[in-house]
Structure 1
Amino acid sequence: MSPERTAERRIWVDGKLVPWQQATLHVLSQSAQRGSLVFDVMHCYWSPEGAAILGLREHSERFLNSASLSSMSLGIDLEGLLSAIRETVRANPGAQIVKLSAYYPGVSLDVLPSDHTASIAIAAFAISDILSGAKPGKLGPARLQVADPRKMPPWVLSPQAKLAAGYLYTAVAKQHARAQGFDDVLLLDERGDIAESSTQSFFLVENDTLYTAPLDYVLAGITRRLLLELAADERIMAKEESVAAERLRSAQEAFMAGTTINVWPVAEIDGHALLAPVPGPITERLMARLARVIAREDPDFSPRWMQEV
């Protein structure tokens, strides 16, 4: 992270914009010690017309739902949150990423927080602000490793709760995969069916039909939702249903989808190469259509999904 790049950045914390370096959390805070921080991430796009966030309202609703599922009281409603996000983006020109965090700042030795209401922080920044040498560019096709740990069952933690502690085991699995030359992991649920990657939704194409896991075990991804809508509009057959891991071998195409990557084609899973070319025709159609939505060139989907700040 470059102090020079972040010197002018402001982070919204509980109603006030504070300098980037002052947005800190005590090491003994309950959220730091117990992983109870709730979060969401959005992508902001700039054009001559100004800034717009893909799925601003949908992301905000999901953030509030994550807090509710975590029994966390925020003291803010949807309209108040949307107003705070807009204020933060306007205070940080050129921001590409908007990250919402809700956390307990008070020191606590118990598993329970000492705070009755969580604090909220909203950061808006460019990727180059925190990743030195980061350059915009097209990702090459991904290589995935099927992870040993299974997706956490929903009766332990709802997959709809974006809670920091819920991502620890996926981070460890991804670290192991990276050490072996893979880009990311593919998680299976406890039944051995395909779930999602470490932080992205997963899709595969089989017999010209698009498949993705049902929401019983996976996060209701915002990009996932949009892609399913685009697939329907493109008359691509799409099914939200359980798919056994064995069917990865017969997949024609596969890709991941998420806020920071949009669509990332997959070329290889556990050493098995998918059919060339990568991306395949269905993946390519969806990538092109999503790009038009983001460029505000799609009259059917851009007005609804590219929400102005």
Structure 2
Amino acid sequence: MSRTVYVNGEYLPEEDAKISVFDRGFLMADGVYEVTSVLDGKLIDFAGHAKRLQRSLDELEMAAPCTADELLEIHRQLVRVNEVEDGLIYLQVTRGAADRDFAYPEDAEPSLVLFTQAKPGLADNPVAKKGIKVISIDDIRWGRRDIKTVQLLYPSMAKMAAKKAGVDDAWLVEDGVVTEGTSNNAYIVKDGRIITRQLSNDILHGITRAAVLRFAAEAQMKVEERAFTIAEAQDADEAFITSASSFVMPVVEIDGAALGAGTPGPVATRLRDIYLDEMRKAAV
């Protein structure tokens, strides 16, 4: 049975879903997106994702296709009709269809597409028990990484570089320091301090990041927001990443150097448990 997807006001079988070849998301990567996790049939941190979506739209002077309340109902309807217990909902907004031109069109209607991805046992990913390995590569993306655009070619290239190196992911490095992972925020832990890069245009303002740092503070953990080097990361006691789909995922090796005992550390493990517990309580 095919999935039901949402395209510009209609719920359609995926094989019938279509977007114009003149859509600027296709021609110009002129679009933004969000990914919201679903656990036990409920949405995780939807309000945070909706707020960041609006910020991305505002930064690109792009019209919102609907209200946040309408967007919530679309998410819930897709969860219902696709019977998603655990998984993801991908949302994409583009500036719409118009004749190809570098200047923004004045009369295009924004396009809105959503679809689900079922991932049974998403919160029980066995990889979290053993951790992931990463390599470092140069960060050559554009300068507005705080806008969650659909310009994902370089992160895809970085993921493939990691795959070819026989590891799980890559950390991106610019001016000698780590910016973030390919699709996640990066952290190290040293002497009980959680260290992660401060917010700026250089990194995505992660929704999971915000929640995890809030929970860490509530648990009396020390948090230091600053840049760090790969050498510093290799010397750390532990490391981890956060994202909407991986939650809190331990990192056990960086550029071939094992961290600590080469197994997930206590800070990352505790934060993952806290995050999943608190987010399940607040899910909508």
Q: Per the alignment, in what secondary structure is the counterpart of residue 58 of structure 2?
A: helix
Q: Find the counterpart in structure 1 of residue 263 from structure 2.
A: 278
Q: Which amino acid aligns with 2:93?
A: A
CA contact (8 A) 2:97 2:108 kept: no
| Deviation for aligned residue 1:145 | 0.8
Which one is further off, 100-109 or 279-288?
100-109
> Is 1:181 aligned to 2:157, yes or no?
no
Q: Find the counterpart in structure 1 of residue 109 from structure 2.
A: 117
Return the alpha-carbon distance in structure 2 between the equivalents of residues 170 and 291 of structure 1. 26
| Deviation for aligned residue 1:246 | 2.9
Q: Per the alignment, in what secondary structure is the counterpart of residue 61 of structure 1?
A: helix
Q: Find the counterpart in structure 2 of residue 38 from structure 1.
A: 32
Q: Which amino acid aligns with 2:249?
A: W
CA contact (8 A) 2:5 2:13 kept: yes
Return the alpha-carbon distance in structure 1 between the equivalents of residues 149 and 111 of structure 2. 15
| Deviation for aligned residue 1:277 | 5.0
The count of residues paired between Structure 1 and Structure 2 equals 278
Normalised by the length of structure 2, the TM-score is 0.89
Over 3 Å counting, the alpha-carbon distance change for 1:73 and 1:291 in structure 2 is: closer
CA contact (8 A) 2:253 2:262 kept: no
**Within 5 A, what are the aligned runs for 1:182-221?**
182-189=167-174, 191-216=175-200, 217-221=202-206
Return the alpha-carbon distance in structure 1 between the equivalents of residues 84 and 234 of structure 2. 42
> Can you list the C-alpha shifts for 1:29-52, whole angstroms capped at 9, x where unaligned?
321121122110000111xxxx32
Structure 2 runs not aligned, ≥5 long:
none
Percent identical across equivalent pairs? 25
Q: Which amino acid aligns with 2:232?
A: R
> Can you list the C-alpha shifts for 1:181-201, whole angstroms capped at 9, x where unaligned?
121110123x32221100011
Q: Find the counterpart in structure 2 of residue 14 from structure 1.
A: 8
| Deviation for aligned residue 1:84 | 2.4
CA contact (8 A) 2:65 2:93 kept: no
Return the alpha-carbon distance in structure 2 between the equivalents of residues 12 and 174 of structure 1. 28
Q: Per the alignment, in what secondary structure is the counterpart of residue 278 of structure 1?
A: coil
Q: Per the alignment, in what secondary structure is the counterpart of residue 166 of structure 2?
A: coil
> Is 1:99 aligned to 2:109, yes or no?
no
**Within 5 A, what are the aligned runs for 1:152-301?**
152-153=142-143, 157=144, 159-165=145-151, 167-189=152-174, 191-216=175-200, 217-276=202-261, 278-294=263-279, 296=280
**CA RMSD across the alignment:** 2.3
Over 3 Å counting, the alpha-carbon distance change for 1:83 and 1:54 in structure 2 is: same
Return the alpha-carbon distance in structure 2 between the equivalents of residues 79 and 207 of structure 1. 44
Q: Per the alignment, in what secondary structure is the counterpart of residue 164 of structure 1?
A: coil
Normalised by the length of structure 1, the TM-score is 0.82
> Can you list the C-alpha shifts for 1:36-83, whole angstroms capped at 9, x where unaligned?
22110000111xxxx321101111111121122122112422222223
Q: Per the alignment, in what secondary structure is the counterpart of residue 38 of structure 1?
A: strand
Q: Per the alignment, in what secondary structure is the counterpart of residue 247 of structure 1?
A: helix
CA contact (8 A) 2:62 2:95 kept: no
> Can you list the C-alpha shifts for 1:62-108, whole angstroms capped at 9, x where unaligned?
11211221221124222222232223322221252111111245253
Q: Which amino acid aligns with 2:117?
A: F
Structure 1 runs not aligned, ≥5 long:
129-133, 297-301
Q: Which amino acid aligns with 2:250?
A: P
Q: Which amino acid aligns with 1:32?
A: F
